[in-house]
Structure 1
Amino acid sequence: MVAIRDVARLAGVSKATASRALSGRGHVAEETRRRVEAAAAAVGYIASPDAASLVTGRTKNVGVVIPFVNRWFFGEVLEGIERALLGAGYDLTLYNVSERVSERSRVFEFFLARKRVDAVIAVGVDLDEREVEVLDRREKPLVCLGGSGGGAARLAVDDRAVGQLATEHLLHLGHVRIAHLAGTGAAHPESVQGHRRDGFLEAMANAGLAGDDTQVVETAMSLPGGYTGALQLLGHPRIRPTALFAASDEVAFGAVLAAERLGIDVPRDLSVIGVDGHEYAEMFDLTTVEQYPGDQGRMAVDVVMRLLGELSVADPLPDSGAPLPTRLVVRGSTTSPAR
């Protein structure tokens, strides 16, 4: 069986130096590191993660808590996280949490509480006080990407500003009958959906258009959800809006398909704007407020590495916690209302 001493002998270094070079922990000259890695490859040596964990107290594993794995945004974030973790020499353990209390409790109080992960990234999940406390008590750094988590490190776009920007784009085109297809749970003020809804309402109020008849319909943040919600909004000709702000691009795609079914032309009869920058947005000719989920995933890993002391920079939050970038991309799904 090949051992670390065989690698050290072939590379002409001590066992301690060989171990540091292969684990990535501790200073080793770059030339020496390359020589040790070449020696390990030559003899077929694979470092044992269990042995390294005993020495360092680290599992070299990060837990990722995510509500959906079949939605575009979350898939893109996950890919960004995975690539960044692999580059840092870490593994990923994925926990798909639902809203059911029993399942969430099991994830936080059983799996994450045990020594299976060094840190946790929560993506688009609103954590309660107990869930945050469980991780804090066991000294597992927590980074929230979107969502909320008390005093945990947090990265997010300014969702209220996103909602305001999308609505103001429609207002500037001359629309006054504007509806919002909000995500389920938009009544929760601290949720992503809630912030986007608040941005919509604020923009409408600033334009003197807010009132009891302001149309907000909650629906699942998915294409089927957008389709169903849009049928509800567009089915009454007398109160039909001329413009629609969808809380995500997938919701917007569903709204476009619903309009097509009802014989409503987009954008002549109905302007539609979404949020995300989905890879299909250009195909749908959809105006959207882009965000960059793959980059967000990589940034979350960067924060985790800082909190774990893997990077030389002490500040755990890049850009002092400034909102993550977004950009309005205007395409053919929005135009001025018909006269």
Structure 2
Amino acid sequence: MVGIDEVARLAGVSTATVSRALSGRGNVSDASRARVEAAAHTLGYVVSASASSLASGRTRNVGVLVPYLDRWFFSTVLSGIARELMAHGYDITLYSLSADREQRREVFETSLKRQRVDGVIAISIELGSEESGRVGELGLPVIAIGGPNPGLATLTVDDVAVARLATEHLLALGHREIAHIGASPEFDIDFHIPTQRRQGFELALDAAGITPNPALYEPADFTIEGGFRAGKQLLGRPGDRPTAIFAASDEMAIGALLAARELGYRVPEDLSIVGIDGHELGKFFQVTTVDQFPGDQGVRAAKALLAALEAREQHGESPTVVPGQLPFELVVRNTTARLDR
């Protein structure tokens, strides 16, 4: 195995200069840094993570708390986090948090306390006061996505406003009989995003003088299959038939689109459909959506954490991360059209 001494000899510098150049700690001239990096590349030398940690007090590893690993939204946010952190030489340790109290307690009281991470990012996880306190005791910078999470630096999405925007788009097209595909109670956890999106939907209807029709609501599970089943229920049963559907996720909107086609509806001529998220499949199916840029959410959270870590190293304290609203944007495609009747 190649050692630091060999890199120093090839670069013509001391081992201390090699250490400073490759760790980014301490002053090294640009010329010396270039020689060290070239020598390390030639010899295939990689800095030992454990040695670097002992020398710097940093693990160059970030803990990421996530409620689901198999859902597109969370994996896309995670991809943005990983892309930004890896560009700065950081690894990630994932902690999948369910609603199970014992499992969560184990993560906060044991796993994170092992001090194997330099900071923490929480994706759409609502931390209780006790959990927030445990995180605070670690003395590590923490960035939360979604919220609010009292006591934590949080980047939030206004899900009520997101849903209002989607619904107002349908209203502006002349639709009045608008159905909503929301979520079953078991998915209404951590900030109650489905409830907030339903509130935004109903607020938009109320502002337009429309009373929400309970018969035009159907719960699902934020998947294409769930949206398909909900769409079949809304469009196939006797009684009130909607002219438009607002689905609380793009995957459910795609499912509703497939259900409508199977039942003989023309989209958007007979039925308009809008979703939320900015799912990559939404572009393929040409679904109108409110894009909340999940990949960029991850990048922004990672940048905020990196800034906190850098400030701590340079000045001994983390900067105050100002809580901020994450952006969203209506993207009009081929599944919505003006009501022609």
Fold similarity call, TM over 0.5: yes
Task: Kindly state the Cα deviation for residue 214 of structure 1 after the two structures are TM-superposed.
Answer: 7.3
Deviation at 1:134, TM superposition (A): 1.4
Distance in 2 (alpha carbons) for counterparts of 1:189 and 1:74? 13
CA distance in 2, matches of 1:332, 1:171: 16
Match of 1:283, SS state, is: helix
- Between the aligned partners of 1:265 and 1:312, the Cα distance in structure 2 is 60
Give the secondary-structure state (helix, strand or coil) at the position aligned to 1:144. strand
**Aligned residue for 2:166?**
166
- Partner of residue 108, structure 1: 108
Q: 1:113 and 1:233, CA in 2 relative to 1: closer, same or farther beyond 3 A?
A: farther
Determine helix, strand or coil for the equivalent of 2:202.
helix
Match of 1:238, SS state, is coil
Q: Deviation digits for residues 110-160 of structure 1, max 9, x if unmatched?
A: 222221211111112222222222111111222112244322111133222
Q: Which residue among 316, 331, 334 is the counterpart of 1:329?
A: 331
Percent of residue pairs identical:
47
Question: Quick check: 2:21–2:36 contact (8 Å CA) kept in 1?
Answer: yes
Structure 2 gap ranges (5+): none
> Contact between 1:184 and 1:221, CA under 8 Å: does it hold in 2?
no
- Determine if contact 1:148/1:191 at 8 Å carries over to the other structure: no
Match of 1:23 in 2: 23
Q: Does 1:231 align with 2:216?
A: no
Tell me how far apart the structure 2 counterparts of residues 27 and 203 of structure 1 sit (CA, whole Å).
58
- Residues 113 and 138, structure 1, Cα contact 8 Å, conserved in 2: yes
Stretch deviating more after TM superposition (286-295 or 254-263) = 254-263
1:162 to partner: Cα distance: 0.9
Shift of 1:174: 0.8
How many residue pairs get aligned? The number is 337
Kindly tell me: are residues 219 and 105 of structure 1, through their superposed partners in 2, closer, same or farther at Cα, counting changes over 3 Å?
farther
Matches of residues 275-314 of structure 1 in structure 2 within 5 Å?
A: 275-309=276-310
RMSD: 2.4
Distance in structure 2 (CA, Å) of the matches to 1:312 and 1:192: 38
Contact 2:125–2:190 (CA<8 Å) still a contact in 1? Answer: no
The 8 Å contact of residues 84 and 299 in structure 2, kept in 1 or not, is answered as: yes
- 8 Å CA contact retained: 2:202, 2:212: no
Contact 1:127 1:147 in 2 (8 A): no
Secondary structure of the residue aligned to 1:239 is coil
Cα 1:95–1:243 shift into 2, 3 Å: same
Per the TM alignment, residue 312 of structure 1 is displaced from its structure 2 partner at its CA by: 7.6
Contact kept in structure 1, 2:125 and 2:191, CA below 8 Å? no
C-alpha separation in 2, matches of 1:312 and 1:167: 47
Letter in 2 for 1:332: N
**Distance in 2, Cα, partners of 1:218 & 1:148:** 25
| 1:156 corresponds to | 156
Structure 1: which 5+ residue stretches go unaligned? none
Q: Distance in 1 between matches of 2:272 and 2:169?
A: 10
TM-score, length basis structure 1: 0.90
Pairs within 5 Å for 1:1-339:
1-185=1-185, 190-211=191-212, 213=214, 215-309=216-310, 315-317=319-321, 320-339=322-341
Give, in whole Å, the separation in 2 of the partners of 1:217 and 1:80.
32
State the shift of 1:335 in Å: 1.4
Indicate conservation of the 8 Å contact 1:125/1:148, yes or no.
no
Q: Judging changes above 3 Å, is the alpha-carbon distance between structure 1 residues 28 and 247 closer, same or farther for their aligned structure 2 residues?
A: farther
Go from structure 1 to structure 2 and tell me whether the alpha carbon gap of 1:149 and 1:92 turns closer, same or farther (over 3 Å shift).
Answer: same
SS at match of 1:335: coil
Deviation at 1:36, TM superposition (A): 1.1
Instruction: Write 1 or 2 for the structure with the bigger share of helix.
Output: 2
> What is the one-letter code of the residue matched to 1:273?
V
